[in-house]
Structure 1
Amino acid sequence: MLHQAGIKFKPLPNVSLLDIRAWKPLSKLETPPSDKKGKLLMPSLEIDNNTDCLLRNLIALEQLHYPGEEYICRYVKLLDFLVDLENDVDLLIENKVIVSKLGDSKAVAELINGLCREMVEVSSTFDPLSKLLNDYYDSSWNKNKAYLVSVYFKNIWTGTGTVVGSLILLVTVTRFILYLLRY
């Protein structure tokens, strides 16, 4: 749904899993990235056969021994917020935010959605990010702009055809109005 509203996912190489940035600062200490509006910058996550076991053990460790400091739990909650279906995983794989070694997008989606099932509710440091993403999605301007770009300007030929068609329509309407004004 975020992709339909125009959000672009970009990978951040060699950073912490919690170093997630949006197009505007989420706190007073954070500096805004130089990218345009509508980009979500996330570190790449490599998912293989051991990821489920590793993340479950880290979640259990954080919830038992580090209450209030559940960083991995918060990251997994954010991933669960972003991923519902295998199409969501395909989009994140295409944008190199997720590197899947499982071979199947459906398995990755089930893994991510299954991690939060037995997790105790945690307060999220990503709440401002979630609010920012929801506000961006709720904006009809962003949805319409993303739709126009994806339908009428998805490649050079459809974009050129759209521009030429619009120019022909504009010239035709202008000539019709001038014709009416003469009489």
Structure 2
Amino acid sequence: MLQQAGIKFKALPDESLLDIRAWKPISEEQQISAKRGELHMPPLEMDNNTECLLRNLMALEQLHYPGEEYICRYVKLLDFLVDVEKDVDLLIENKVIISKLGDSEAVTNLVNRLCREMVEVSSSFDPLSKLLNDYYESSWNKNKAYLVSVYFKNVWIGTGTVAGFLILAITLARFILYFVR
């Protein structure tokens, strides 16, 4: 859904796992660090040990560090972003997720299983989720993303679109001039 609205995912190599940046600050210490419509996230490597590691970290946070559930919030954000295999494919394509599990279905199942038995936490990513939802709900963003993906997805299609528009404009101008005389 976010891709349909024109959100682009960018990988942030060499950053902390929780260092997620949007085009607007979601907290006071975050600087505006991305172009409008971009979400920058550090890469997350998914392998056979990821589920066990994340579950143990989430349990540790929930039992011993209430109010400081950073990994739980990150997993909740991932669950917000990933619903189907196509979502995982998009994140893998943009190098936000590095999958060593074999296929996208395995990553999708892993992410969707992680939040099943999690105690509800107030998320520091809630403002980010609201920002992404507002961006998605804007019809301007959806229409612009559709035009770019259909009529300007490569140089040749874009050139053909511009040429077709120019021919239409010249034809319309000549038609109007013919009836004005």
Q: 1:33-112, aligned counterparts within 5 Å?
A: 33=33, 35-112=34-111
Residue 117 of structure 2 is matched in structure 1 by: 118
- Work out the CA distance in 1 between the residues paired with 2:43 and 2:92: 9
Q: Deviations over 1:117-146 (max 9, x none)?
A: 000000000011011001100100000000
- Work out the CA distance in 2 between the residues paired with 1:81 and 1:31: 23
- Runs of 4+ that moved beyond 3 A: none
Pair 1:18 & 2:18 matched = yes
Per the normalisation by structure 1, the TM-score is 0.97
Structure 2 spans left out of the alignment, 5+ residues:
none
- Work out the CA distance in 2 between the residues paired with 1:27 and 1:67: 20
Q: Deviations over 1:72-102 (max 9, x none)?
A: 0000000000000000000000000000001
Identity of aligned residues (%): 78
- Work out the CA distance in 1 between the residues paired with 2:121 and 2:15: 23
Structure 1 spans left out of the alignment, 5+ residues:
none
Pair 1:30 & 2:30 matched = yes
Q: RMSD in angstroms over aligned alpha carbons?
A: 0.7
SS of match in other structure, 2:26: coil
- Work out the CA distance in 1 between the residues paired with 2:59 and 2:109: 19
Per the normalisation by structure 2, the TM-score is 0.98
Q: Deviations over 1:115-174 (max 9, x none)?
A: 000000000000110110011001000000000000000011111110000000000001
Residue 176 of structure 2 is matched in structure 1 by: 177
SS of match in other structure, 1:46: strand
Q: Deviations over 1:7-44 (max 9, x none)?
A: 000011111111000011112322111x3210000010
Residue 136 of structure 1 is matched in structure 2 by: 135
Q: What count of residue pairs does the alignment treat as equivalent?
A: 181
